[in-house]
A and B are shown apart, each in its own frame.
Chain A
Amino acid sequence: MIIQDDLCVGCGECVDICPGGAIHLQEDSGAAQISQQLCLECRVCIRWDGCPTNAFQEENSLPWPRSVRRVFSDPVTTFEETTVSGRGTEEMKTNDVTHRFPPGSYGLSIDVGRPNVGAYLRDVDKITRVLAEAGADFSRNNPIFTLMTDPEKGCLSSEVLNERVLSAVVECTVTPDQLPDAIRCLQDISREIDTVFSLGFIANVTELRDREALHDLLRECGIGAENSAKINVGLGRKEP
């Protein structure tokens, strides 16, 4: 994304709306400019209707590897390899149909860069590597999986490591035996990354004896739950 110098009137209204913090006013001309290093290609600025001269201009097709920025940062962009848009998959939202998470199998979703911080993919790479060591099985339909050169080791392509995105979701499944180690690895690596991540824990609860059992399981892993959850209520079925 760029700002056309000849159109920008330097009002500065766009500076605060950029999720990447990439827009600044130039000292000499007073016109706004976008740092290409910080720009996430999220397209918030071009969708925004506040620019009095419509000075934002985008490239129709971004070159590799910059194109990954848009995939992970613009929620209305589709990842064509999997026909899934955005940063993740349907994960538990359609588990009543797919049974991807059967009872006794757990899912972890690690939303790197969220909330509102952003992340370089080199930090995602650190996280996927430790999860691979813990035995996690990565979701194949997730865009992060397609960036892996060695899924067994969780290694991302070196070409993308310096790309900055608004957030990227790492999705994986773990067995009950692997869960404590996976969570410990995530807690450890959180001290070595230059961003944040929001962690989600997925469980099929159709055979759950009571709600407290989930919290007991997490406590045994040395972690607690926040007051927010998504609940699939089981209305989906395989045939329309």
Chain B
Amino acid sequence: MVCSETSGKGEMQVTHTLHRLKSDLKHARESLWGQTETPPADYIIMTMACQGFNEQDSARRLKKSLALLAEHTPVNISNGEESIHTKATRKELEDNIGDTSYVAAVFDDPGLLIAALKSLAEADLGMSVVVTGNPDQTWPLIERAGLGAHTINLSLGVFGNTDSLPSSEVQALIMMCGHGLITPQLAERIIEHVAAGDMNPEEGAREMASFCTCGIFNTSVAAAILRHGLGGVSR
């Protein structure tokens, strides 16, 4: 087996956007936010070409999708290898897009998701577009954008030695990096730093997002968890 680091204009990557909102995590989040406040939403849009079918000239179309998605103020956006929270600039994200890259953008508001989907549909780029989130929310929102579901991948949960998993609050944070690059220990350390006033919730969220190379970590949700999980502690 041979492997190499991707060049930025190299081969297609896949992301791990699924499995980020288990039922018990949803309940944990709701208990954190309480009854009166609407929590930030958690939606991801991913655009990609298909290898062997339509990847030719897709760099140009991916750059267009990056520009379109960026207009709708995502809380995170990436080219699959680097994101705005791994210190890449918007121009660097664009410059490093190749024909087999993909673009991912994270939104914290349903209206923004609808608007972004409408923009992609109007642009008619011919690339596949995938939306991740709670399907009870995203499916109707997709339809409100004038689109429909073609294929669905439903999370059926976590099996096996689940005793080895961290607390629900920590899971709710670290599972937003589907590749598992944010450790429970790091999340716990950041929770402690925020509690001690050494960093505010937004700084804590950005610190965690800096480990998520494919840029699907929702900093808005993370900051809310850090803030409300700590009784509203904020600097």
Is A233 a contact of B142 with CB atoms below 8 Å? yes
CB of A45 to closest CB in B, whole Å:
11
Is A230 a contact of B159 with CB atoms below 8 Å? no
User: Across the interface, which residues of A come within 8 angstroms of B166, CB to CB?
Assistant: 116
| Per-residue B-contact encoding for A219-231, CB less than 8 Å = 1, 0 else | 0000111111111
Alpha-carbon distance A201/B153, docked complex (angstroms): 5
Alpha-carbon distance A89/B100, docked complex (angstroms): 13
User: Across the interface, which residues of A come within 8 angstroms of B132, CB to CB?
Assistant: 228-231
User: Across the interface, which residues of A come within 8 angstroms of B2, CB to CB?
Assistant: 67, 79-81
User: Across the interface, which residues of B come within 8 angstroms of A53, CB to CB?
Assistant: none
CB of B201 to closest CB in A, whole Å:
19
Chain A CB within 8 A of B151 CB = yes
Please report the total number of B residues contacting A with Cβ < 8 Å: 89
Alpha-carbon distance A228/B157, docked complex (angstroms): 9
Is A85 a contact of B12 with CB atoms below 8 Å? yes
Is B121 a contact of A85 with CB atoms below 8 Å? no
Chain A CB within 8 A of B129 CB = yes
User: Across the interface, which residues of A come within 8 angstroms of B53, CB to CB?
Assistant: 94, 97-98, 238
Is B130 a contact of A115 with CB atoms below 8 Å? no
Chain A CB within 8 A of B185 CB = yes
User: Across the interface, which residues of A come within 8 angstroms of B4, CB to CB?
Assistant: 77-78, 80
Closest to B121 in A: A235
Segment with Cβ contacts to B, from A3-11, A27-35, A129-137, A191-199: A191-199
Closest to A226 in B: B155
Alpha-carbon distance A17/B190, docked complex (angstroms): 11
Chain B CB within 8 A of A161 CB = no
User: Across the interface, which residues of B come within 8 angstroms of A232, CB to CB?
Assistant: 128-130, 149-152
Contact of B12 among A90, A107, A114, A118 (CB under 8 A): A90
A interface list, Cβ under 8 A from B: 15-19, 21, 42, 44, 47-48, 62, 64-65, 67-68, 70-71, 74-81, 83-98, 101, 107, 109, 111, 113-118, 143, 146-147, 166-167, 186-187, 190-191, 193-206, 211, 214, 218, 223-240
Given contacts A80-B4, A83-B11, 18 further A-B contacts (CB under 8 A): A42-B181, A77-B4, A77-B6, A83-B100, A92-B152, A107-B153, A116-B175, A167-B180, A195-B161, A196-B165, A200-B153, A200-B156, A201-B153, A226-B156, A229-B133, A231-B153, A233-B131, A234-B148
User: Can you pick out 25 interface pairs between chain A and chain B where the beta carbons lie within 8 Å of each other?
Assistant: A70-B3, A71-B1, A77-B5, A80-B2, A92-B130, A94-B53, A96-B128, A115-B19, A115-B175, A117-B161, A197-B158, A200-B19, A200-B156, A225-B156, A226-B19, A226-B22, A227-B26, A227-B135, A229-B152, A232-B149, A232-B150, A233-B142, A233-B149, A238-B54, A240-B49
